[in-house]
Structure 1
Amino acid sequence: MFLVFLAALTAPSEPPPAIRVGTYSYPRYDRKVALGPLARMIARISGRPAQILLLDTPDALADAMCNGDVDVAMTNLGAFVKIRECPKVSAVAVLDTPAPVLERYRGVLLSRRDVGVADLMELKTRAGGLRYSEVLPGSTSGALVQADALRSIGAHAAPFMARRHAGTHEAVLEDLLAGRADVGALAEEPWHKLQADNPAGAARLALLWRSAPLPPGPVVCRASAIVDCDAIRSELLGPAGAEAAAALSLGWTETAGATRFQAFDPARYDLFKAQ
């Protein structure tokens, strides 16, 4: 009995469970690096290790957050509108992105000029014979706002003859220019870049629709016995949040140039609803 007791005293203790810090992957950015300072900050204030998780898509990130498989996440708008309805999950802070960057963060619908689609209403009537390219499931500016625009006129992305996920905004443009798609959903910035870098290629495409400016997704937190969301919020909004803000700003087009966090304003997001 004494030996059993002694063995129990000398046996190595189980390491504390890690706090899981997540987002979704995107080929253009190394988001594991972007999350690094945030994860280190959370580890420091919690006294626990932090584990970085990269999900495949914004939709997968939203599901993981709602299911309790991620504790803290950097979202995009598309993921956040789904996460917002989940119990125990709250937005703690959002990057204070420069106004010119926010103004440029929009979604567009483009078509090849040789397809001959003049506007959204004509797109609605001809969708069954057209091929549609969008970025990836849950992409705000490259899938969701365009789907909402189509729904507003009684259409839907599903009735297109073919629908593909290109993976990046630039790949959607490539699908259009290569003739693999007739209509494309993407962010406005790559469209402007194509106009500047390849005017001849851009002239082959027509703008059908352009969204209003879109807010970036906030950092969200799932409260639990090991995750103190109030402490994380306080740290992000204070001077110590600057390092995390600078790193995250480099991982998303819509947050470029941010150097700090600001308080989350729910009213800014009330127009955007989960589909």
Structure 2
Amino acid sequence: MVESMILFLLSQLASQPALLPASLPVVRVGTYSYPLYDRRVALEPLAAMIERVSGRSTQIVLLDTPDALADAVCSGDVDVAMTNLGAFVKIRSCPEVKAIAVLDTPSAVLDTYRGVLISRRDVGVATLDELAARAGGLHYSEVLPGSTSGALVQRAILRSVKTKPSSFLSVRQAGTHDAALDDLLTGRSEVAAVAEEPWRNLLAKYPALAAQLHLLWRSEPLPVGPVVCKHSLRTSCDAIQSALLGPSGGDVAGSLSNGWRETEGAIRFRAYDPASYDAFRAE
């Protein structure tokens, strides 16, 4: 009877999932929030994979902006992160940080991942040179600090005509691309930095409203931000990289791709290629 009870208890213990050691430091997995996507859900398969690879518990961390995410990775407050280009150009110069994988996004999606500068047609600004000359009297909207297609690339083209956001009468952080477009349509701003896709959607669905606006500039296709890992006692970046680039990375890729407009449809990761990012720099 006693032996039967012992065997029963042992079988019950064996059937329970293994608990990760509570004494080991937690691996913090992070990104930045965006109102249109539940990025905590998008990160969950990545966090689960890291637990399997590292044998450590994970904690999902959501920062307010790409710039805040970059600061958290560089300071060691986030160990593994899904970035955008804006965050990555700041992160890559930080010590002990490594880009470990990039979502292999379909080429048709990548071709639409561009930034644009748009002005109100009634302002009469038709070129970048005219924009530079009149910036001091205009209100400017961008999406949020560190947004790739709604701030970063537009700041780069503004520098080419010796202008920057602080040259404008005011700068507004709209929060989303659609909100930045709405700033133009409602008169809160005369110039806005947004991704091309919302602009194309406005052209297709509301041509009369789009006719009130003027396309000043359109970027080339942009690379998506990589997954990065900060080397420390709590992270095994090489092991995490191998898992992402291997067969088990597919579930993680599919979930992450649903959290970003520019990565939609990715089902696997590919190796990070530094040359794709050489043209971009932090301010």
TM-score normalised by L of structure 2: 0.92
Q: Structure 1: how far apart are the matches of 2:220 and 2:161?
A: 17
Q: Structure 2: how far apart are the matches of 1:226 and 1:68?
A: 11
- Counterpart of 1:266 in structure 2 is 274
- Counterpart of 1:20 in structure 2 is 28
The residue correspondences of 1:123-272 to structure 2 (distance < 5 A) are 123-272=131-280
Instruction: Give CA deviations for 1:217-263 in whole Å, capped at 9, x if unaligned.
Output: 00000011120000000000011000000000000111010000000
Q: Please, which runs of 5 or more residues in structure 2 have no aligned partner? A: 1-20
Instruction: Give CA deviations for 1:200-229 in whole Å, capped at 9, x if unaligned.
Output: 110100000011110000000001112000
Instruction: Give CA deviations for 1:91-112 in whole Å, capped at 9, x if unaligned.
Output: 0000000001111100000001
The one-letter code of the counterpart of 1:112 is: R
The one-letter code of the counterpart of 1:80 is: F
The one-letter code of the counterpart of 1:236 is: L
SS state of the match for residue 215, structure 1? coil
Runs of 4+ deviating beyond 6 Å: none
- Counterpart of 2:13 in structure 1 is none
The one-letter code of the counterpart of 1:133 is: S
Q: Structure 1: how far apart are the matches of 2:282 and 2:139?
A: 25
- Counterpart of 1:4 in structure 2 is none
Q: Structure 2: how far apart are the matches of 1:62 and 1:156?
A: 21
The one-letter code of the counterpart of 2:107 is: A
Q: Structure 1: how far apart are the matches of 2:224 and 2:95?
A: 21
The one-letter code of the counterpart of 1:150 is: L
Q: Structure 2: how far apart are the matches of 1:53 and 1:24?
A: 8
How big is the shift at 1:46?
Answer: 0.7
- Counterpart of 2:11 in structure 1 is none
Residue 26 of structure 2 contacts residue 234 of structure 2 at CA under 8 Å; is this kept in 1?
A: no
**Which residue among 53, 64, 70 is the counterpart of 1:62?**
70
The one-letter code of the counterpart of 1:165 is: Q
Instruction: Give CA deviations for 1:28-47 in whole Å, capped at 9, x if unaligned.
Output: 10000000100000011111
The one-letter code of the counterpart of 2:124 is: G
Q: Structure 2: how far apart are the matches of 1:148 and 1:157?
A: 10
Q: CA RMSD in A?
A: 0.8
- Counterpart of 1:9 in structure 2 is none
SS state of the match for residue 148, structure 1? helix
Instruction: Give CA deviations for 1:117-138 in whole Å, capped at 9, x if unaligned.
Output: 0111000010011000000000
- Counterpart of 1:102 in structure 2 is 110
SS state of the match for residue 108, structure 1? strand
Q: Structure 1: how far apart are the matches of 2:277 and 2:168?
A: 29
Q: Structure 2: how far apart are the matches of 1:168 and 1:237?
A: 31
- Counterpart of 1:10 in structure 2 is none
Identity of paired residues, percent?
67
Instruction: Give CA deviations for 1:141-193 in whole Å, capped at 9, x if unaligned.
Output: 00010011000111111010111000000000111111111000000000000
How big is the shift at 1:14?
Answer: 5.2
Q: Structure 2: how far apart are the matches of 1:271 and 1:176?
A: 29
